[in-house]
Amino acid sequence: MRIAFVMAHEGVEQIELTSPWQALVETGETPQLISTRPGSVQAFHHLDKADTFPVDDTVEGASPEDFDALVLPGGVANPDALRMDRRAVAFVKAFFDARKPVAAICHAPWSLIEAGVVRGRTMTSWPSLRTDLRNAGATWVDERVVVCHEGPSALVTSRKPDDLEFFNDAMLREFGKVAV
């Protein structure tokens, strides 16, 4: 199984990248970091710069057909930049069109709103996205993790870093993965 982590070149909340990544690595997977630019991604710990991570491919160079699932880490700046990049939005939407599972945490649903894939879905997110999600046709709930099968593909959403344990467990189940 090939799993893409899609993010902008900066602004991702580091723990929302590294925790799900490690959970997948522990199942024997080698996730791929796909970004809007080549080189590296600058992660953040809240508003402070954290580590950088090497980009495996760009949304322009990668093909969604080559992947079986998608993870969208949050942070505020990361999904805000992603939703302004038409290639990134098309990359995300392609997973829904192909009925592949997607997992998104914190502010990452902004990218899903821009891709037009939240209508009729039950979701959670960072609380400030509640109105955005409702206006886009989603039902927003305040829960640690929500797994929605109300559309063509499974969608796992979660609120914040404190919920990562629940997010990772649900993501692994929906991706058909277990730790090795």
Residue 87 CB contacts under 8 Å (≥ 6 apart), including other chains: 36, 59, 60
One of 9, 107, 148, 149 is an active-site residue; which one? 107
One of 9, 45, 46, 106 is an active-site residue; which one? 106
Residue 45 annotated in active site: no
- Give residue for tokens 């997973």: 95
Write a three-state SS string for 146-180. EEECCCCCCEEEECCHHHHHHHHHHHHHHCCCCCC
Write a three-state SS string for 37-95. CCCEEEEEECCEEEEEEECCEECCCCCHHHCCEEEECCCCHHHHHHCCCHHHHHHHHHH
Cβ count near 139 (within 10 Å): 15
Residue 148 annotated in active site: no
DSSP state of 138: P
- Give residue for tokens 């305040």: 142
Residues labelled as active-site residues = 106-107
